[in-house]
Structure 1
C-alpha cells in the first residue's frame, strides 16, 4: 500500500461543502502519515487543486481543524458549482490528474458527491475510488426510497409520508401524523441533518415547510413521527461492524449545528447499552448495508433512533459519512481502538489493489 499517488476529492457543491473540506484536509494529512503522495482537489472550486502534490513529511494547511459554521453554506451558487464539478470530472487537467492517480479518495458529502453522480462519472472514466459505487449511493441517498427498501428487507423503519410543499397542499396523511403527535420533517435528499425541523402542530409544520420551499425550488420533504428515545449510529466497513456510538443530545434533534459545534452533544463509544442490544444494532446496520447494495469493498454508517418503547428504528444509511476529527465514523474507530490513520488505511484497503 505504501507509496501510492492518491488524489483526495473534497468540497463539492452541496450544503455539506464546509464539512467536506474539513474531511478532505484531515484525510490528506493521514495519507501523508501513511507514506503516500497526496493531491487535494475541490472540483467545484475555480482553482480546483487546493494543495499538492504533497509528499510524506509535508503538512496540509488547515488539517488541525477547519472551522465548520453553525449554518450550512448558501446554495445560491449551486448550479454554477455543479457545472464546474461536471467539467472538472469529464475533461481537462483535473480528469487527467484523477486518471493518473493510483487511487481517488472521495471525501465528499452530500449532493453529487453522495447521490451517485460523481461515482458514475469516475466509473465512466475508469478511475479507482474509495467507497460505494454509483448504484449503492443512489439507493441510499433518497431517504424515502431507501426506507422503503429497508422496510421491504424486514428492517424496522418509522412511518413516513413524502410531501413537496409549494407544489401541493399538506397531504391528509401528513396532517394525520402531525395531529397525532410531534413529527420530524427533513429533505429526502440532503445530509448532515440540513434543514431538519421538529413540529408539534399543523401550523408549525406549515412554517417549516414554507422555510424548506423557500430554500430551493422543488424541495421534497419526508415527514415521520418524532421518536423520543435514544439515538445511535453504527458504521460498517466491509464485513466488519464498529462499536455502537450513542449520541446524547441536549436538543430535541441532532441537527447541523449540533453535529459540528464542539460540545453541543456527547458522543459515547462504545455506547452504554447491554451487549445483546449493541449486537442487535450492529446486526441491523449490517443488514441495512447489504440491503441497499453496499458491497464488501465499501463502508457506510446507519443511524437509529428509538421509539417510546425503546425499540430502534432505522432512519437512514450514509454512503460517505463525515471524516472530520469530530465526525461519528472516526469516533467509532476510536472506540474500536484505532487511530485516525488506522481508519483511513482501512478505507484505502477496502478499495482493493490497484
Structure 2
C-alpha cells in the first residue's frame, strides 16, 4: 500500500510522536509498503519519502523533558496550512491510508481526524468524535462513570479564572491528590500534591498556558494499562513505579520504570481489567476499526480505578502498546500491520 505517516505536530508530545513516526515507518517498509513520512508542523514537512521496501530510517530517542512550547503557535499555523493545501495535502489525497502517529494536541483531540474526514481521506485509529471524547480527562471519567465503570472523584479548576474551588480544597483536605492538565497526554505536567502552597505552584505553572486543571485523589496502589485493538483485548501490562506518579520522564526513559507483560496478577483480576478496558473503549465510541489503551490505578484496598483512555497511544520502542502486543506474541511490525488493517475493515 501507499501510506502517508503523520507525526510530530504541535503538542508537548511532539518528540514522542516523531519517534513513533520513524518506528512505524521502518515497520511498514519491512512489511512491503511504500511510505511518505510527514511532520505537518515542520518548516519542511515531508521528512522522508517516498520510501520503498528495502529503504531504512534511523530510530529517534525521546528527551527526558517535553519540548518547550514557545513555538507552539507557529507549529499550529504551519500544521493547519500543510493539512489544508499544498504538497502535504497532495500526498494525503494520493495515499491509500494515512497512518496517524500523532500524539496529543490536534493530533489526538479530533482536529486532524475531522480535517481528514471532511476531505474523505482514510486514516488509522478512531474518528474525530471518540478522540474528542477521550481527550478531556474530566469528560472521559464522566462518561465512564455513567457507563458503570469505576472512577475516582474529581474536580476541575481553571487557575487564574477562579479561586481554588471548595471541591478541590475538600479533596486535598482528605489526603494527597494528583493534579494534571485536564486535556493532555504522555503524563505531561502530572504532579502529586499534598498542600495548598504546592498546589499553587502547580497552578502557576499551568496558568501561563491557560490550562484547565483536574484534581483527583492520589491512589497509592499498583498501576496497570490494557490495550484494545478492534474487538481484541491485549494482555495486561503492569507499570512498576520508582516514583510517586507515572510522569513524562518516567514514561519515556528506559529503565525509569519496570513494565511487566503479562502482569503478574490472578487470572480473575486480569479479566476484570480487560473487561473494563473493552467497556471503556466502547463507551467512548471506539469501534471495531479503531484502537485505544485504558490506564488503571488501584486504591488503598487494591481496587482498580479507570484513570484515562488514550486514543492514539505511543508507538515508540519503549511505549506500552508495543509491549502489550509482544505479550500477545506479536512483533512490532505485526502490531503496525494490524492497526493498518483495522483502517480498511
- Equivalent positions of 1:214-293 (< 5 A) are 214=208, 216=209, 218-293=210-285
Which whole-Å CA distance do the structure 1 matches of 2:21 and 2:137 have between them?
Answer: 25
Aligned length: 345
- Asked if residue 159 in structure 1 is aligned to residue 156 in structure 2, the reply is no
CA deviations on 1:264-319 (whole Å, 9 max, x unpaired) are 00000000000000000000000000000001100000000000000000000000
The yes-or-no answer on 1:305 pairing with 2:302 is no
CA contact (8 A) 1:179 1:202 kept: no
TM-score by length of 2: 0.99
Which of residues 10, 13, 16 is equivalent to 2:13? 16
**Paired residue for 2:173, among 153, 159, 179?**
179
1:11–1:108: 8 Å Cα contact kept in structure 2? yes
Aligned residue in 2 for 1:52: 49
Select the residue among 308, 314, 321 that pairs with 2:306.
Answer: 314
CA distance in 2, matches of 1:68, 1:29: 17
- The residue aligned with 1:130 is 124
Mapped to 2, the partners of 1:221 and 1:152 lie a distance apart of 22
Displacement, 1:67?
A: 2.1
* Structure 2 residues without counterparts, runs of 5 or longer: none
Three-state SS of the structure 2 residue aligned to 1:28 is helix
SS in 2 for 1:344: helix
Corresponding residue for 1:78? 72
Q: Which 5+ residue runs of structure 1 have no aligned equivalent?
A: none
Say yes or no: does 1:25 pair with 2:17.
Answer: no
Q: Take 2:197 and 2:10, find their aligned partners in 1: how far apart are those partners?
A: 32
Q: Where do 4+ consecutive residues of structure 1 move more than 6 Å?
A: none
- Paired with 1:161 and 1:40, the residues of 2 have a C-alpha distance of 40
RMSD: 0.7
Contact residue 150 and residue 288 of structure 1 kept, 8 A: yes
Q: Which residue of 2 aligns with 1:347?
A: 339
Matched, 1:213 2:213: no
1:29-44 paired onto structure 2 within 5 Å:
29-44=26-41
Aligned position for 1:336: 328
User: Aligned partners of 1:77 and 1:168: how far apart in 2?
Assistant: 28
